Chain A
């Protein structure tokens, strides 16, 4: 719900078209990009790295589960290597979050284009539905749906798609309402282009700047949401390594072995910081061209 970079600028559609080809970010943007890339590379290389299997228990290590030469970040309560579980956990979150956000973006953008372009009845129906979804406290909705249908990667993606789509919908609808009055849209209408063509080829590309920034923010908040679901025990089913779940399993032990909970907490925090910094950097670029 918190969209800092989203509100950091008073004007949403500034200079989106100008200088969009040169790829230059602010320092904050590069730092964010570097953090995300580091996690992505680690996640991609996870099977090739010389790490213990994420679900293999080293019972001998349980005598002293703290960081050691064999287990660089220590082991958890079942003797599983924390470094390995953290890196394999990155694979999970970097798969589930982008798919969920992509789903929400596609659904939200298409419906937003339709509502903004056609206005009238489709607009009022879609806007009412999105208002209802948005007025429902998201975390309670997650809880009801996931406990009802069971927690699986697919269900998590579906729930996030449904609850995040209205946010993208609102953004794209507002921009479409403005962009549909532009001359190039009128020209396309005169040429007799179809509504679908005008929406996807004339309007959508000109709205891409703010959409890309929002996708970046959404990735951050979706990462938090997936972590929170894991922490509440309604995330991905064990023993799949999942950051939120790792914190849940070890949180009770923080007075004795704090590292077990701190390691996944740092992992998830750094990834979200990465997404948010990248969003800040992209936002500046969208604004200043």
Chain B
């Protein structure tokens, strides 16, 4: 298992290198862009060239890439061109906002998904199973911005219970906690259907096992069979899928953040990409891939820890 982890770590480093290189080259197609963007449409060509030179953007791509990676390894991600602050500072600030949202959403999604997944899977083909499956399917069919609009219309416009935006500032009448409710709700509704279906299938598989039949036949109460025997086994297979949701909750929520004007990582990346803030885009992409690969690795290793059979096979 240690060897597996080391190999995966090496593979992770390689992927990060490939991604950083790809994003860097992608952003270097038109070096004049940055200076033009900074100076605005009315700057003369000379001014643009001068600034390009000043920023060192006229040197070959490879030279700048190597220099950039050297800086990154020393913890220096450069200066954000649009926010005029170090990239690390703004990235950290927005990332912690997103982590707050993701943590709450995760804490809401996982218990509910386990509950509904088990309720559906414990009686395969029953009315209860069908209705949960259809509901899960419908919920994950709704785009996040549509769910956001529907919920905002109901809770912000019609009932007036919750704020329609979540800028995380205390200026208005709404507390920070109330600003988090709707974003979390939208993320939970969109994301939960997938996990419910995952856990349901795993539960169905476990309920067909001989040891469950034995437990039922020896006269154990159905509730005890489910809680003591089935549940623990049914959660092994979806473990990786559950951990992978962290990836979506952090890096995939740009739409939710845009709907509610939430100052998070996804919106920062959108802003950075639109204003061609290369240093910020680069660093953000690295962070996103790092998160994706860490959750993947944690999922794989946790899976091996939980299920001894997989360890032996490897």
**Contacts from A to B (Cβ < 8 Å):** 1-5, 7-10, 28, 131-132, 135-140, 143-145, 147-148, 220, 224, 227-228, 231-234, 244, 247, 251, 254-255, 258, 261-262, 265-266, 268-269, 272-273, 275-277, 280
Whose C-beta in chain A lies nearest to the C-beta of B192?
A: A2
- Out of B153, B252, B288, name the residue touching A254 (CB < 8 Å): B153
A269 near B146: Cβ-Cβ < 8 Å: yes
Which of B56-64, B137-145, B213-221 is near enough to bind chain A? B137-145
- Out of B150, B156, B193, B255, name the residue touching A232 (CB < 8 Å): B255
Known: A131-B15, A231-B258, A247-B145. 8 other contacts (CB 8 A): A4-B133, A7-B197, A8-B133, A135-B15, A135-B289, A135-B296, A148-B26, A251-B259
B164 near A255: Cβ-Cβ < 8 Å: yes
For B244-265 the 0/1 string (1 means CB < 8 A from A) is 0001100110110011000000
10 A-B pairs with the lowest CB-CB distances in the bound complex, closest first = A2-B194, A137-B251, A265-B146, A147-B273, A272-B141, A273-B141, A143-B273, A4-B197, A231-B145, A224-B143
* B281 located at the interface, meaning its Cβ lies under 8 Å from any Cβ of chain A in the complex: yes
* B103 located at the interface, meaning its Cβ lies under 8 Å from any Cβ of chain A in the complex: no
Q: What is the bound-complex CA distance between A247 and B144, given in angstroms?
A: 12
If A8-B197, A228-B143, A254-B164 touch, does A144 touch B292 (CB 8 Å cutoff)? Answer: no
Q: What is the bound-complex CA distance between A272 and B193, given in angstroms?
A: 14
B292 near A137: Cβ-Cβ < 8 Å: yes
A262 near B149: Cβ-Cβ < 8 Å: yes
21 A-B pairs whose Cβ atoms sit less than 8 Å apart in the complex: A1-B248, A7-B197, A7-B201, A8-B197, A132-B15, A132-B19, A139-B252, A140-B285, A140-B288, A144-B26, A144-B281, A147-B276, A148-B26, A227-B145, A228-B255, A232-B270, A233-B274, A251-B145, A251-B149, A255-B156, A265-B150
B149 near A139: Cβ-Cβ < 8 Å: no
Whose C-beta in chain B lies nearest to the C-beta of A265?
A: B146
Q: What is the bound-complex CA distance between A28 and B18, given in angstroms?
A: 44
In the complex, number of A-B residue pairs with CB atoms less than 8 Å apart = 151
* Chain B residues within 8 Å of A131, by CB: 15
B145 near A269: Cβ-Cβ < 8 Å: no
Q: What is the bound-complex CA distance between A233 and B267, given in angstroms?
A: 12
A232 near B258: Cβ-Cβ < 8 Å: yes
* Chain B residues within 8 Å of A232, by CB: 254-255, 258, 270
A140 near B197: Cβ-Cβ < 8 Å: no
B292 near A135: Cβ-Cβ < 8 Å: yes
Q: Would you list which residues of chain B between 125 and 170 have a CB under 8 Å from chain A?
A: 133-134, 136-138, 140-146, 149-150, 152-153, 156-157, 164
**Contacts from B to A (Cβ < 8 Å):** 15, 18-19, 23, 26-27, 29, 133-134, 136-138, 140-146, 149-150, 152-153, 156-157, 164, 190-191, 193-194, 197-198, 201, 204-205, 247-248, 251-252, 254-255, 258-259, 266, 269-270, 273-274, 276, 281, 284-285, 288-289, 292-293, 296
- Out of B19, B157, B193, name the residue touching A4 (CB < 8 Å): B193
B143 near A227: Cβ-Cβ < 8 Å: yes
Majority SS of interface residues in chain A? helix
* Chain B residues within 8 Å of A254, by CB: 149, 152-153, 156-157, 164
B142 near A269: Cβ-Cβ < 8 Å: yes
* Chain B residues within 8 Å of A143, by CB: 254, 269-270, 273-274
* Chain B residues within 8 Å of A231, by CB: 143, 145, 255, 258-259
* Chain A residues within 8 Å of B134, by CB: 28
- Out of A9, A144, A255, A272, name the residue touching B143 (CB < 8 Å): A272
B296 near A262: Cβ-Cβ < 8 Å: no
If A5-B137, A143-B254, A147-B274 touch, does A137 touch B194 (CB 8 Å cutoff)? Answer: no
Whose C-beta in chain A lies nearest to the C-beta of B156?
A: A255
Most buried by B among A28, A132, A145, A262: A132
* Chain A residues within 8 Å of B144, by CB: 228
* Chain B residues within 8 Å of A1, by CB: 194, 248, 252
- Please give the distance in Å from A8's CB to the nearest CB on chain B: 6
- Out of A135, A139, A140, name the residue touching B293 (CB < 8 Å): A135
Q: What is the bound-complex CA distance between A258 and B271, given in angstroms?
A: 27
* Chain A residues within 8 Å of B193, by CB: 2, 4
A139 near B254: Cβ-Cβ < 8 Å: yes
* Chain B residues within 8 Å of A135, by CB: 15, 289, 292-293, 296
